[in-house]
Amino acid sequence: MESNLERNQRQESVAQAMKLVHLNFSSPFRIGKGENYIDAITIYRAFIKAYSLLGYDISEIVDDAKVKFSSLFPMNKGRLILRSPMKTVICNDRRIEKVIKGASLIDFEVLKSAELPLTIRCEENQDIRIEGVKDQVQVVRGVISASDGVHVRSFQTTQFNAFIDRSMNSAVPFSITSFFLEDGGILVSGWNRRVESALALLSETGFGGKRSIGFGKFKIIKVEEFQNFRLRMRDPSQEWKYLTGRGFTTGEFIAERLDKVNGISGDVNPVPLPVMGLLPVGSLLRKSERVVKWIARDNVLVIDPITLG
């Protein structure tokens, strides 16, 4: 017979299992300049707000990091499409080389098979191959995949409008840039009923900005188990992780004394900044107990996203 301790350990193990949440967006979401996805920082903020509205304790997200979230990634035909880590392209055909370098996304199934760091070659017959991947790959609409049928169904729009400045008796023009992604997926570790309830609430209220005019709403299509995997490094002695959200490593956080900062914006340009130690989505980083810190008491918003590998 199963003891109480064994049952609690089993339930804890189940709770820590990673889930892939399939979302289908019914409206565009508000984005920052140059962005076309919902970052993990935005998702953390949204879930904390939902937890608060539902009366749940947010400590499992903020203090204990029992629940973690990735950024929102595109999906197609049930397959997850991640941000491509840095890649080396070896190709004599300038046109094909440009297409490969411009690909910012990679099919998760391809990433699992590839040796990292990524090395992509185009052969004389224009076949594209990645070291470690048995079959040739395709690059379609900025996505590296094993099938030309895998692509991202999305588009960006800019709406122009104006508000009335009554003091000057004039109209002041402004624009709203939004991004529509038909299908997307979020990775969640530590899935439980509170997360499920919060997600259901967010499907009604939406993600991101301009929610008051209906932006960021979605339907929950499916929640399924997601099996983590070990990255295939070219040097087996190296242990690296794939970062699913922007963040600071613990060492960089302490070294730069960022714990004394009053606030860190979630809309920082996603490029490496040497002063702040910012890591973009898709970075490979050395194994770390916790990738980043969240110090709520000082109002510092530094997230702890999921790592793969």
| Amino acid, res. 298 | D
The pLDDT of residue 41 is: 81
Cα separation, 269 vs 290, in Å, equals 23
The pLDDT of residue 162 is: 59
Cα separation, 69 vs 72, in Å, equals 9
Q: Which two tokens stand for residue 182?
A: 């038909």
Q: Is the pTM of this model over 0.95?
A: no
The pLDDT of residue 261 is: 39
Residue 120 CB coordination number (10 Å): 24
Residue 134 CB coordination number (10 Å): 8
The pLDDT of residue 6 is: 44
**10-residue stretch averages of pLDDT, the chain, 309 residues long:** 45 62 84 69 87 90 84 87 90 91 90 91 85 89 78 58 64 60 88 95 84 81 90 83 77 50 36 50 77 56 77
Virtual torsion, Cα 292, 245, 63, 199, nearest 10 deg = 180
The pLDDT of residue 13 is: 41
User: How far does CA 45 lie from the centroid of its chain?
Assistant: 14
Q: What single DSSP character describes residue 41?
A: H
Cα separation, 270 vs 55, in Å, equals 33
Largest CA distance in the chain: 79
Angle at which helices 40-54 and 193-205 cross, to 10°: 100
Query: Within the chain, where are the H helices?
Result: 4-15, 40-54, 59-62, 94-101, 108-113, 193-205, 250-255
Q: Cβ distance 29 to 208 under 8 Å?
A: yes
Q: Which domains are seen in the chain, by residue range?
A: 16-77+180-225 (3.30.70.3120), 80-145 (no CATH), 228-309 (no CATH)
The pLDDT of residue 25 is: 85
Cα separation, 267 vs 42, in Å, equals 9
